[in-house]
Amino acid sequence: MDKNVCKLFIDVDEVFNKGNVNEAIFNSSKLYNNFCPKGGCTTNYDRISALCEYLLTELLKLNNKQNGSKDNVNQNYEFVFMWLADKFLSIGRNRSLSLNDYYEKFIVSRGGNFNCWEKLDNQIDLKDGNLSVMSIFYQLFINICNPIMKNEISKFELNKFMDFDHNYGQLYDLINFQVSNCDPYVQLLINLKKS
């Protein structure tokens, strides 16, 4: 797992508070505001869309720096789908919806401006991913990232690593049990294991 990819998602997550983008933090950052529509980011979904655009742009830069393969680009897009599912679920709490259903029901039908959605078409099968399952994948991804970042920041303590490892194991078992017969989910799990 690339620590820069981890840092990118962890930093963006710090802008959120219980499903809502913290407007003060968001507005004070020129990084995110550059991705707002012409009228500005006036709704929570506008801000989530801007953060999604930011993630996609930064992931592309990271991939170019790594001289990455197409597989790296696809895996980075997988992380964005997981991230979106986690954010949508924390807002809507409807665990039965797919990402696409949520997008249609809560964003398109309300005239929302969500520019990053079309950019994710190269992984169209993940748009049909269940919010709850994809959110668990995101938690697993973050559980992989946290030890990487903590180790980078300071001397790593064995007890902290064991806590991360335990959480990772629980999430992995939960996902493995729930998704063993669904090819896109199985592929996500394989990709996370390879990270």
Name the phi and psi angles at 28, rounded to 5.
-80, -10
Residue that wins the pLDDT comparison between 31 and 92: 31
Check residue 108 and give its pLDDT. 84
pLDDT in tens, 3-47: 899 999 999 999 999 889 999 999 998 899 899 988 889 999 999
Model confidence at 86, pLDDT cuts 50, 70, 90, reads very high
Average pLDDT over residues 131-144: 88
Model confidence at 158, pLDDT cuts 50, 70, 90, reads very low
pLDDT in tens, 47-68: 999 999 999 999 988 875 554 4
Quote the percentage of the chain above a pLDDT of 90: 33
Check residue 162 and give its pLDDT. 52
What are the structure tokens assigned to 70, written together? 């197409």
Name the phi and psi angles at 97, rounded to 5.
-80, 150
**Could you count the other beta carbons within 10 Å of the beta carbon of residue 40?**
12
